[in-house]
Amino acid sequence: MPSRHPAENYVTRMYGGLPRHLVLNGERFLDPGWSHTARFTRHLVDDATAIDDDKLETLLAYEWRSRLTAAWLIGVDRRDRFRARLGDLLLAGDVCFSGSAYCFALARFGTHADAEILTAYLDHYLPLTNLRYDQPAALGALLRLDARLGTRHADRFTEPDSLWDQWSRAMGGLGRPRHTPAELHHRSNLRCDFSHGWTRP
């Protein structure tokens, strides 16, 4: 009988009939009416504190569900020693869904170095107007960092007829929803501040 993945429980723990990775991906916990939010948040904080770096590395080396969960745990505990690793994974863009979690973690770290990674990502992926990867999450995270750091890294992406405008118009033409920078900033703030129970808000 094959042994379980050593960090499987961090990914598949169930809440309201959904495994943790799907709750994180769909951001169900941001719905104030969801009855499992308090339990989900408490367990996420506890696991983010308890998991060791080796298990996080194991998760980051696996598939999208594990990478997404690892990035959330890293972000919640602000383990900024993973900054370069998450930056490399974000820029590679080689698996689906997990990129928004990397952006969350970088926003939680909250430094100029994180803003530089997000800027590099947007410089690379916004001109690719046929690809919807994690551009909205990256811009939202960068806007949050600008607000916290007093910087203006996002300005050149959000001015009229900017790379964001061009990419967003192209997505609209493909039938994808368009988002304003203000909406993205708000969403990033919700992700980063969804619980006052975090010991390091």
Predicted confidence (pLDDT) per residue in 130-188, tens digit? 888 999 999 999 999 999 999 999 999 999 999 999 999 898 865 566 678 888 888 89
Instruction: Spell out the residues 6+ positions from residue 107 whose beta carbon is closer than 8 angstroms to its own.
Output: 75, 114, 140, 141, 144, 145, 188, 191, 192
Question: What percent of the chain lies above the pLDDT cut of 70?
Answer: 90
Residue reference for tokens 């974000």: 90
Instruction: Spell out the residues 6+ positions from residue 53 whose beta carbon is closer than 8 angstroms to its own.
Output: 79, 81
Q: What angle, 0 to 180 degrees and rounded to 10, lies between the N-to-C axes of helices 112-125 and 135-149?
A: 150
pTM above 0.75, yes or no: yes
Residue 133: other Cβ atoms inside 10 A: 17
Task: Look up residue 190 and give its amino acid.
Answer: L
